Every structure is written in structure tokens, then in C-alpha cells.
Amino acid sequence: MDNFSVEINYCSRCGSKIDEDINQNDRAVVHICKNCDAVYYENPKIIVLSLIDFNGKVLLCKRAIKPRLGYWTLLGGYMEKNETARRSC
């Protein structure tokens, strides 16, 4: 366990045992509850969002992945544990 890791053993929603899984979209390790589908991410909680104004309307995107598959949201996402906020170019 590094300085940043938190061990997640049980679901805070239903109390079931948590399993480790691989997110098929970005290959990140996630912790999931197979009983209630809750997803527990282990990341630094840094998030980037884009607010795009187009003729007075806000552009949203429809989620194509779990959690909240099919929900409308702003464009953005969490920084993953193995990513850096440091500019690469």
C-alpha cells in the first residue's frame, strides 16, 4: 500500500464484500460491489470539467460507461491514480 492507497473491503451502501475489477474503458483498477453495482474509485479526486457555451446553451454529453450509463453530464473526468497533473508538452 502506498501513501495514496485506501483499502476498500465492504460496500458503504449495502455492506457486501467489494471485488476488484478492471475498468474496460481506461484499464484502471476499480473496486465494485457486485450486489448493488456501486463503484469505488481510488484516485486523487482531481477533476477537470469543460463548460461549453454554444449560443447561450450548454453542451452536455451522454455517458457511455458505468457508473450512470446513459445519464447526461458535463464533459470531464477524474484524474486517475497513475496519471499526473503535470503538463507533458
The footprint of Zn ion (CB under 5 A) covers 11, 13-14, 16, 33, 35-36, 38
Nearer to Zn ion, 14 or 75 (CB): 14
Cβ 79 to Zn ion, closest distance in Å?
A: 25
Nearer to Zn ion, 35 or 43 (CB): 35
Cβ 40 to Zn ion, closest distance in Å?
A: 10
Cβ 8 to Zn ion, closest distance in Å?
A: 11
Is residue 81 within 8 A of residue 4, CB to CB? The reply is yes
Residue 30 bridge partners (DSSP):
21
Nearer to Zn ion, 36 or 65 (CB): 36
Measure the CA–CA gap between 27 and 60, rounded to whole angstroms: 25
Residue among 45, 42, 44, 46 at smallest CA distance from 8 = 42
Measure the CA–CA gap between 44 and 24, rounded to whole angstroms: 20
